[in-house]
Amino acid sequence: MRLSGVFGPVAEWPGQDLVALSHEFDAELVVEAYRAGVFPMPLHEAGWPAGTMGWWSPVHRGILPLDDIRVTRSLRKSARHYTTTVDRRFAEVMERCGDPSRPGGWIDGDITRVYTQLYDAGLAHSVEVWTPDGRLAGGLYGVGLGGLFAGESMFHDPEIGRDASKVALLRLVRVLDDGHERLLDVQWVTDHLATLGAVEVDRDDYLRLLGEALDVPAPDWAAAREDGPHAGDA
């Protein structure tokens, strides 16, 4: 059943991160969800029926302020060993992010199918990080709507990609930070993201920031894609 009015009035949402469940899952619903401050993540734990999609709006939402990103000396040094591209290998980045051997993996076939559709529609984007000999060392993907970029997942290759996911995030910030006030949503603050400056905001504050960001022009993703490989941005 399609969720009426997306997810109903915010005042009626439960005081927890998981705000709704559904068995329906398509690209249109995902776009509606992001515009409402909600994102999908399937429930694979025991006890949930197969195909149950969870819809989440964290009570304490993680964001990364673009003007407060932290770049350590060691990260600057590490970044020099890579180049970065935008929207060149979306499918491969999703595949690597969804590696079933990763702890806590949640990217399943339905997620891959729908986000690939969003990429084809110009609404999902990837950043790739490459070694000098052309191997994919890390990357990230997410959804861009106006001035919102909702980061979904990132990865690094443990053998060749030390700091590669962080380098991908630095390239993303360069794309987003072009003088407009944009919102980089990271869902939850992890220790990894906290080292880069991610902070938590209350749900109500996030929804206010989201409303402002959706009215901001999107960055020029086509230009970023055609810009070619960049030296690791730090």
Give the confidence band of 191 by pLDDT, cuts at 50, 70, 90. very high
Paired sense of beta strands 199-202 and 60-63, if any: antiparallel
Tens-place pLDDT, residues 50-90: 788 999 999 999 999 999 899 999 999 989 999 999 999 99
Res 2: pLDDT: 41
Contact indicator for 204, 167 with CB cutoff of 8 Å: no
Tell me the mean pLDDT in the region 98-124. 91
Q: What are the backbone angles phi and psi of residue 182, rounded to the nearest 5°?
A: -110, 165
Instruction: Identify the pLDDT of residue 3.
Output: 40
The answer on pLDDT for 117 being more than 70 is: yes
Which residues make Cβ contacts (< 8 Å) with residue 127, sequence separation at least 6? 84, 85, 86, 93, 139, 140, 141, 168, 169, 171, 172, 175
Residue 137 confidence class, pLDDT cut points 50, 70, 90:
very high
The pLDDT confidence band at residue 111, using thresholds 50, 70 and 90, is: very high
Distance CA 6, CA 55 (A): 11
Using alpha carbons, select from 153, 135, 125, 140 the residue that is nearest to residue 82: 135
pLDDT value of position 50: 78
pLDDT tens profile 28-47: 999 999 999 999 999 877 67
Burial 87-102 (b: 16+ CB within 10 A, else e): bbbbeebbebbbeeee
Q: For the chain, what is the mean pLDDT?
A: 92
Domains recognised in the chain with CATH numbers: 10-58 (no CATH), 62-231 (3.40.630.70)
Q: What is the pTM of this model?
A: 0.93
- Please check the confidence at residue 215 and state whether its pLDDT lies above 70: yes
Query: Quick check: 1 pLDDT over 50?
Result: no
d(CA 161, CA 173): 19
Position 83 scores a pLDDT of: 95
Percentage of residues in the chain having pLDDT higher than 70: 95
Nearest to 213 by CA among 205, 221, 222: 205
Task: Name the band, by pLDDT with cuts 50, 70 and 90, for residue 112.
Answer: very high
Query: How many CB atoms sit inside 10 A of residue 222's CB?
Result: 11
71 phi, psi to nearest 5 deg: -125, 110
